[in-house]
Structure 1
Amino acid sequence: MVRPRMFDEEQAVDAAMRVFWASGYESTSTQALCAATGLGRSSIYNTFTSKRALFDLALHRYMELTSSAQLELIQRDDLPIRERVRRILWNAVEPGPGDPPGCLVINTAVELGPTDPELVELLDRDHAPKLEALAAAIRTAQAAGEVAADRDPTALADYVYVVLGGLRVAARRGASAGAQQSVIEAALQAF
């Protein structure tokens, strides 16, 4: 008779996500995953089959959470475009409670991207809707006179995400909030 699972699989994936986010894929040991999830080694492997399978679930969970939050913010037409962009960028400076600094997607692209083109394709597919939504919001802001008409909306959207990536890397290395605030203010001058 198969014993029923006595744990919440989603909570285990969320806990593993934070460990991978803080330490990276290669540096995360099975023991660290056991400690974070409260599961034994056999429960992890019986449920998720491998460290990589658990990582993939954790990465998908991270992308689901961050992409939906960013898309929701981008689509808030009750806020001026500069304020939406400022909030997107500020999320790199002040992560949510219990969240490690940096970004699991960027960490993954740097760590595994050079050897895993399928993973890079997945990350690109996750990024595309946010980029398109931000470019569309910038076009709408241009029509409302918030952004100069001669600005390229796609280039501006790319710029915002490049700055966001840099801020997340800076946060990971311990940059001060003041230094990051200066970068955000400089980036907002593009609008």
Structure 2
Amino acid sequence: MARTKEFDPDAALQRAMELFWLKGYEATSMADLVEHLGIGRASVYATFGSKRELYLRAYDRYLENGVDFVGLLSRPGPVLPAVRALVERYADEAAADTLHRGCLVVNTAVELAPHDRAVARRVEANWDFVEGTLTSALARARAQGELSAGKDPRALARFLLTLLQGMRVMGMSSEDPARLRDTAAVALSVLD
């Protein structure tokens, strides 16, 4: 007869995500995971597989808990206020990141993607999704007359994607919240 789990796998996954987000993949040992999750090594392996598999599930959890780009940018009415709010939100969140965790997607892109093609594809898929959502929103803004006809929605979306990810990086080390807010303000001027 199989033993029932004496822990909540969903709660353990959430805690693993938080630890990986704080420390990174390489700096998080299996001993760290066992201690942080409060479960035995065998239970970690039996429930989640390898450390890499657990990391990828934690990465997916991070995406599930992330910003609802579609919901935010697909509301009826003017689009540019929502785009501005999104950029300002990223600046504010990066400035308020007292743990200096940054973004797990960016951290994964820097730490693992250069030497793990499967991880690189996951990161790229996320960035394609964000870029596509922004492109659609900006195309709608152009069609509604909020954005001049000469502005390229895809190029602007790529610029904003890079800006958003860069602000997460700056939030990891900058102690000056004005730096991020000024950056957001200047970047948003390209939408005028």
CA contact (8 A) 1:86 1:184 kept: no
Q: Which moved more, 1:78-87 or 1:18-27?
A: 78-87
- Matched residues, percent identical? 34
Spell out, residue by residue over 1:45-104, the C-alpha distance to the aligned partner (whole angstroms, 9 max, x if none).
22112111110110111122226x122212233454244343245235326999863111
Q: 1:85 to 1:141 in 2, by over 3 A?
A: same
Spell out, residue by residue over 1:116-169, the C-alpha distance to the aligned partner (whole angstroms, 9 max, x if none).
112111211222222112111111111222111101100000011100111000
Residues 1:50 and 2:57 are matched in the alignment: no
Q: After TM superposition, which residue ranges in structure 1, 4 or more long, deviate above 6 angstroms?
A: 95-99
Q: 1:91 to 1:37 in 2, by over 3 A?
A: farther
Distance 1:14 1:37 in 2: 9
Map of 1:109 onto structure 2: 109
- Normalised to the residue count of structure 1, the TM-score between the two structures is 0.89
Unaligned ranges ≥5, structure 2: none
Map of 1:190 onto structure 2: 190
Map of 1:16 onto structure 2: 16
Map of 2:85 onto structure 1: 86
Q: After TM superposition, list the pairs within 5 Å mapping 1:115-134 onto structure 2.
A: 115-134=115-134
How far apart are residue 16 of structure 1 and its match? Answer: 0.6
Q: After TM superposition, list the pairs within 5 Å mapping 1:1-191 onto structure 2.
A: 1-66=1-66, 69-78=68-77, 80-94=79-93, 101-191=101-191
Q: 1:175 to 1:128 in 2, by over 3 A?
A: same
Q: Which moved more, 1:43-52 or 1:149-158?
A: 43-52
Given residue 51 of structure 2, which amino acid in structure 1 is its aligned partner? K
Given residue 111 of structure 1, which amino acid in structure 2 is its aligned partner? E
Q: 1:124 to 1:19 in 2, by over 3 A?
A: same
Distance 2:183 2:17 in 1: 28
Distance 2:74 2:120 in 1: 26
Q: Which moved more, 1:154-163 or 1:120-129?
A: 120-129
Does the residue aligned with 1:189 lie in a helix, a strand or coil? helix
CA contact (8 A) 2:30 2:41 kept: yes
